[in-house]
Amino acid sequence: MENVGIVGIGWYGFSTNVHDLSFREMMFEAAQRAFYDAGGMNPREQIDAFISCQEDFWEGISISDEFAPDPVGGSMRPTMTVAGDGLQGLAHGFMLINSGVADVVVVESHAKPSDILTFPEIVELAMDPVYVREAKIPNYHFIAGLDATKFMHRTGVTREDLAEVVIKNRASGLKTGRAPHASMLSKEDVLSQEMIVYPLTRVDVARPVDGAIVVVLASETFARKFNDTPIWITGIGFSTDNSNLELAKLGDAFYLRKASELAFGMAKLESPLKVNGMFVDDRYSYKELQHVEALGVNNVAEKLREGYFHEGSYLPVNPKGGHLAKGYPLEASGLSLVLDAVEYMREGVSSAVVASWRGIPTFTGGVAVLQR
């Protein structure tokens, strides 16, 4: 398989409520920026296929695929939807290029959670109708709570460690222009918060955010036509661990273990410690550590305490603040991490790993290895 280059990326939003633009207008704004980033390309002539990543109940529109083509330049073109996280969309784009059916592919994803009036109820709708929904749990974070306690018990990660992740990520977000939840917090601030579900407080949990992200991918032959320094996807994989909560193995992100096995194998990456940065889903503070562990990093608690994951150290994790600082734009969450990684690499480093998760109640994630 050949590498696929990220030749353009654009975003819009990252605000808790983009009240003045519809989701379609946000898509257009993000697409314009991505095409400008890709050397001012003409999407109507230079793109072979379009992929949008979205889910009906997030949109509040049944068959929301209908609205995918126009705002990104994809009408009367091969346009399709991947009902999954943006990183899965990226993998489908990667496959389209490697199959030979396309040279240039656009991957788009967006989120407008501010339009959803019954957010927890929509999350509940993703749970098994016969078994889990009937349990009538008052708060969907309970799954994260179960997962976190088991993870902490196994690895020795403490509440103080989780607080450290919160402080690190929320502060890192202050450096970027798209982090509505960034702030300077002290350990006392974090530890004195009220619990939502033990061991997670309000500041341990990332919040949904409005946003749209568009990525332009190109084959090895075409990439330099649009960008002198493409960021190469040298390995990509995704995996689902389980779909039923009652059968899932909690306490470990098996989905990322499988996905990273695929992605690292493809990229011939021997050790995750060899990259310059990790951008992992941190919708819950403990998830950052659990995901880093699943990527093959041992003793995450000790490493965190030694400052190993902080910016400027050996292996910066979420140096742009992750979802804790930015919020998570639903299915665009994976692309939000990719966006962070691309910006980080454009500052001069040569490699990064991105690891996404689809959020409660799923056990699905994706991994991409990026190199310059």
Residues 114-153 that bind other proteins (CB under 8 A): 114-118, 121-123, 125-126, 128-130, 133-134
CB-nearer residue toward other proteins: 28 or 308: 28
> x/- site string to other proteins, residues 352 to 371, per CB under 8 A?
------x---xxx-------
Q: Which of residues 44-73 bind other proteins (CB under 8 A)?
A: 44, 48, 50, 55-57, 60-63, 65-71, 73
Q: Does 259 bind other proteins (CB under 8 A)?
A: yes
The alpha carbon of 299 is separated from its chain's Cα centroid by a whole number of angstroms, namely: 24
Least distance in Å: CB of 34 to other proteins?
12
How far is it, in rounded angstroms, from Cα 359 to Cα 86?
A: 13
Of the candidate spans 82-90, 142-150, 192-200, 299-307, the one that interacts with other proteins by CB under 8 A turns out to be 82-90
Q: Which is nearer to other proteins, 172 or 364 (CB)?
A: 364
Distances (CA, A) of 267 to 59, 351, 369: 35, 11, 7
- Collapse the DSSP code of 329 into the 3-class scheme (helix H, G, I; strand E, B; otherwise coil) and give the result: coil
Q: Tell me which amino acid residue 234 is.
A: T
User: In the complex with other proteins, which residue's Cβ is closer, 17 or 313?
Assistant: 17
Contacts (CB under 8 A) with other proteins, residues 210-249: 237-244, 247
Beta carbon of residue 161, minimum distance to other proteins (angstroms, whole number): 28
Options 8, 14, 92, 336; binder of other proteins; rule CB under 8 A: 92
Phi-psi region of 62 (alpha: psi -120 to 50; beta: other; left: phi over 0): beta
| Rounded Cα–Cα distance for residues 29 and 32 (Å) | 5
* Distance (Å, whole) CA 18 – CA 340: 21
Residues 216, 220, 226, 228, CA torsion sign: positive
In this complex, which beta carbon is closest to other proteins, that of residue 17 or of residue 158?
17
Among the listed residues 14, 140, 254, 284, the single contact to other proteins using CB under 8 A: 254
Token duo for residue 319: 């140096």
Smaller CB separation from other proteins, 73 or 322: 73
Ordered DSSP codes for 303-325: HHHTTTTSTTSSS-BSTT-HHHH
Exposure pattern of 94-123 as b/e (b: 16+ CB <10 Å)? bebbeeeebbbbbbbbbbbbbebeeeeebb
**Under the criterion CB under 8 A, does residue 184 sit at the interface with other proteins?**
no
Piece of 24-32, 145-153, 155-163, 338-346 that binds other proteins (CB under 8 A) = 24-32
Residue 25 makes contact with other proteins by CB under 8 A:
yes
Query: Nearest distance from residue 260's CB to other proteins, in Å?
Result: 12
Is cis: bond before 199, omega within 30 of 0?
yes
CB of 311 to other proteins, least distance (A): 32
**103 sits near other proteins (criterion: CB under 8 A):** yes
Q: Are 315 and 170 in contact (CB under 8 A)?
A: no
Binding segment for other proteins among 113-121, 178-186, 319-327, 339-347 (CB under 8 A)? 113-121
The answer to whether residue 96 forms part of the interface with other proteins (CB under 8 A) is: yes
CA–CA gap between residue 303 and residue 90 (Å, rounded): 31
Report the nearest approach of other proteins to the CB of residue 218 (Å). Answer: 11
| 326 contacts 343 by C-beta, under 8 angstroms | no
Tell me the closest approach of the beta carbon of residue 169 to other proteins, in angstroms.
26
Least CB distance to other proteins at residue 156 (A): 26
- In degrees, rounded to 5, the angle at the alpha carbon of residue 185 between the alpha carbons of residues 181 and 189 is 115
Compare residues 88 and 201 and give the one whose CB is closer to other proteins: 88
Task: Let me know: does 215 contact 335? Beta carbons within 8 Å.
Answer: yes
Cα 306 → chain centroid: 26
189 counts as binding other proteins under rule CB under 8 A: no
Q: Which of 3, 81, 318, 351 binds other proteins (CB under 8 A)?
A: 81
Q: Least distance (Å) from other proteins to the CB of residue 62?
A: 4
